[in-house]
Amino acid sequence: MAVPVSQPIVRIAELDIDPAQLDAYKVLLSEEIDASVRLEPGVLSLNAVSVRGDPAQIRILEIYVDQAAYEAHLKTPHFLKYKSGTATMVRSLRLIETDPILLRTKSSDVGSRDH
């Protein structure tokens, strides 16, 4: 009997951030993403972008090894700090569950936090 292969968990988070607190939000988000990718083997990728022309609309593509890795991520000190620190900044949050079709990435970081 074959052992079930765990499937990566891929979510898209759609956030609406209070524009007056956007700069502070980006600092906390950057700290959280950096710590998660560096410290958690189960976090494969966290990528944050804003909607062009509406910088308070943030989208985060999250990829975890499996459900257990995602659940472990939610309990980490850096994630809990992010959640509590941004609680008054986030006007709405929608998590979109996805079914991966094809996941590929290069190994180097791309982009700038200043955009």
The reported pLDDT for the residue numbered 6 is 79
DSSP bridge pairs for 90:
17
Which residue matches tokens 């094809």?
102
The DSSP letter of residue 113 is T
pLDDT for 95 beyond 80? yes
Strand residues in the chain grouped as ranges (E): 9-17, 43-51, 54-64, 90-97
pLDDT of residue 115: 44
The arithmetic mean of pLDDT across residues 98-103, rounded, is 91
The token pair that represents 101 in the structure block: 């079709």
For tokens 């955009």, name the residue.
115
Q: Which two tokens stand for residue 41?
A: 């083997």
Q: Could you report the per-residue pLDDT of 67-88, keeping only the tens digit for each?
A: 999 999 999 999 999 999 999 9
pLDDT tier, 25 (very low <50, low <70, confident <90, very high otherwise):
very high
pLDDT at 15 over 50: yes
Residue from 112, 113, 110, 114 nearest 45 by CA = 110
Residue-wise pLDDT for 33-71, tens only, equals 999 999 999 999 999 999 999 999 999 999 999 999 999
Residue 112: is its pLDDT beyond 60? Answer: no
